Structure 1
């Protein structure tokens, strides 16, 4: 049995509501992630102090946590924010950057997974590392293709109740019962730092107030891929691509996403 997702409908909701997205992300990603969220139509906030992270998470429509540049004080803030989101029912997205690289990252990720993330988004090596199927790639880079993490993604989704998004040349999204594959993007996207981190924020914007978290996650990834395709048409290299990508996100509309009705497989 197949169903479909219409990304344009989800994008329209983001643009209409401009959700406030609370981001605890890494130092490298803050600026680009904020710009990406503004371009898609959301309202970004970069709040990482432990003293206010939990309180602010209760004010936001969604939360993202990225473990890219960990420190003990930031980990405390992540735990408090995720705990607050769990208490209030605020959707939140975990980005387990380079989770397989060090013991500290694995321990932190386990603590955060225990706080019921709504979505877990990572590359194939990161998703596999979360279920102890690989070493977790080379730093922040994946050494595995997205499809190689399918079994791990299904296992992680069924264990945690989260929607799991594995991103790469082809993206896969599953909630343990449904599965979507997203094609698109552009080869220059991995050449621009923090575009993956910024995607986590876009996922959060799409799942804010969403009735179907799985469908909203699929729509977010597909819209991102569509923007990458459009940006790549004129870009001459990573620098011009970065600027063109922001413009493409800002210019996304129903017309740009027409025909991108994604088929959903039941597994």
Structure 2
């Protein structure tokens, strides 16, 4: 059963605590590290050029998140992505704010040459990356996830990557397959970095199941959505949502996960 397969991946993260190397943005470092720890993974935030090759070599997976771009960090991203490709390590590209500026688009074009295994973004980011002639509003999506489905399929075909469009409904596409996940809650959009957290969790799941990035991505997004839903039931606003979300990641049981998961295929 697919649900059992997804839970086995989530469980493997808890049991093996894979090291996830994050080159991410200043805004979300703390949130991302705490979410990875709550899910059972081991986070490291590293961007010094001198240690990129060594850090990628010891990590289970890499996340490259372009949220707060900086020329030094861009070089770190390219060095790390190149090493991940060389070593055949899973790496996840989070194209935050794709389409917002020409520089951002240029950086993304360069990063795509290093063959990310998974690309996760909101509807506008995925459409922009797929050259769907759209501009984003800063880092916020102006397009619904379902509007980006065709662009996601095209992007996956062009890059060979699993493409995940996150939103009220999450779409994960790869080689003609499409899984939809309808968990989560609107309150998640009021907490900064939830998308960045999703990308980091995808990397953790890919680290324990590198041979099946499509299934690993689905497991991470399912975990994210179910935990968010549980947290929102207790939260009274964005502040408590953050706290309850970490608790939900940490406490989630197989029974609750399988009972709540709203998954379908298109």
Compute the TM-score of the two structures, normalised by the length of structure 1.
0.95
CA deviation vs aligned residue, 1:34-64 (integer Å, no higher than 9, x gap): 0000000000000011221222111100000
Question: Residue 21 of structure 1 corresponds to which residue in structure 2?
Answer: 20
- Are 1:168 and 2:183 matched, yes or no? no
- Are 1:224 and 2:221 matched, yes or no? no
Question: Residue 263 of structure 2 corresponds to which residue in structure 1?
Answer: 262
C-alpha distance in 1 between matches for 2:30 and 2:19: 16
Maintained 8 Å contact 1:5/1:264: no
Deviation at 1:216, TM superposition (A): 1.1
Alignment of 1:133-212 (within 5 A): 133-210=132-209, 211-212=211-212
C-alpha distance in 2 between matches for 1:5 and 1:111: 36
Alignment of 1:81-100 (within 5 A): 81-100=80-99
C-alpha distance in 2 between matches for 1:133 and 1:91: 26
Deviation at 1:252, TM superposition (A): 1.4
Question: Residue 131 of structure 1 corresponds to which residue in structure 2?
Answer: 130
C-alpha distance in 2 between matches for 1:69 and 1:95: 12
Question: Residue 102 of structure 1 corresponds to which residue in structure 2?
Answer: 101
Q: Secondary structure at the match of 2:208?
A: coil
C-alpha distance in 2 between matches for 1:14 and 1:36: 12
Deviating beyond 2 angstroms after TM superposition, the runs of 4 or more aligned structure 1 residues are: 3-7, 259-265
Q: Secondary structure at the match of 1:188?
A: helix
Deviation at 1:82, TM superposition (A): 0.3
Q: Which has the higher contact order (CA 8 A, sep 6+)?
A: 1
C-alpha distance in 1 between matches for 2:52 and 2:93: 15
Deviation at 1:261, TM superposition (A): 7.4
Question: Residue 112 of structure 1 corresponds to which residue in structure 2?
Answer: 111
- Gaps of at least 5 residues in structure 2 are none
Deviation at 1:109, TM superposition (A): 0.2
C-alpha distance in 2 between matches for 1:57 and 1:103: 28
Maintained 8 Å contact 1:11/1:253: no
- Are 1:215 and 2:220 matched, yes or no? no
C-alpha distance in 1 between matches for 2:133 and 2:242: 31
Question: Residue 43 of structure 2 corresponds to which residue in structure 1?
Answer: 44
Q: Which has the higher helix share?
A: 2
What root-mean-square deviation, in Å, do the aligned CA atoms of Structure 1 and Structure 2 show? 1.3
Maintained 8 Å contact 2:3/2:258: no
Aligned pairs, number: 263
Alignment of 1:51-66 (within 5 A): 51-66=50-65
Compute the TM-score of the two structures, normalised by the length of structure 2.
0.96
Q: Secondary structure at the match of 1:117?
A: coil
